[in-house]
Amino acid sequence: MFLDGALPCLIQLNLLLQRADPIIHILYDVLLTATSTLLSRFVKPEIVAKYRIGEVSNREIEIAVEDPKNYLTFEKLFTGLLAKNKANKLLEEGDASQRDVDKFYNARLHFHKAAFLYVIKNFPLDNEVLKHSRFLNILDKQCLFECLVLGGTI
């Protein structure tokens, strides 16, 4: 049940990457949104905001992610509605102890942390061409070659 809530942002990204039409002009923003979404699932909002606007480097965000004081409380961690309801139901009915539920929340936190660290190491978020390709929508009939040369004509 947890994966039903945890994977949709990555599935949507995967489907986008499978499109046949050119998407380079939106790729950087989509990758940044996906990484920010993963980060927001276990880290405090002020850290996510700094990451989203580029105030912190990848190395600084890795350090922040390793620091437990930056984590959300177990109650605020992203779970997915089905998994959260099931965990609460098992706890209320006595089929799971508080220790079991805490282990589930801790596993959730580590899942999101591992996913985020994997993504920032493997996504091309530092690629300068990708960062500056937002204007390369080749499907836009209004975009002329002159538009592509750093704001001017050749």
Per-residue pLDDT, 154: 41
pTM for the model = 0.74
Q: How many domains does the chain have?
A: 1
How confident is the model over 88-135, as pLDDT tens digits? 788 788 888 888 888 888 888 888 899 899 999 998 888 888 887 776
Q: Domain for residue 94, yes or no?
A: yes
In whole angstroms, give the CA distance from residue 149 to residue 132: 12
Q: Is the pLDDT of residue 150 over 70?
A: no
153: in domain: no
Instruction: Assess contact for 137 and 25: CB atoms under 8 A.
Output: yes
Tokens encoding 61? 């965000």
Q: What share of the chain is helix, strand, coil (3-state, %, to 5)?
A: 65, 5, 30
Chain mean pLDDT for the chain: 81
Say if 154 falls within a structural domain: no
Q: Report residue 131 as tokens.
A: 């960062």
Residue 123 counted as domain residue: yes
Q: Print the domain residue range for 58.
A: 2-148
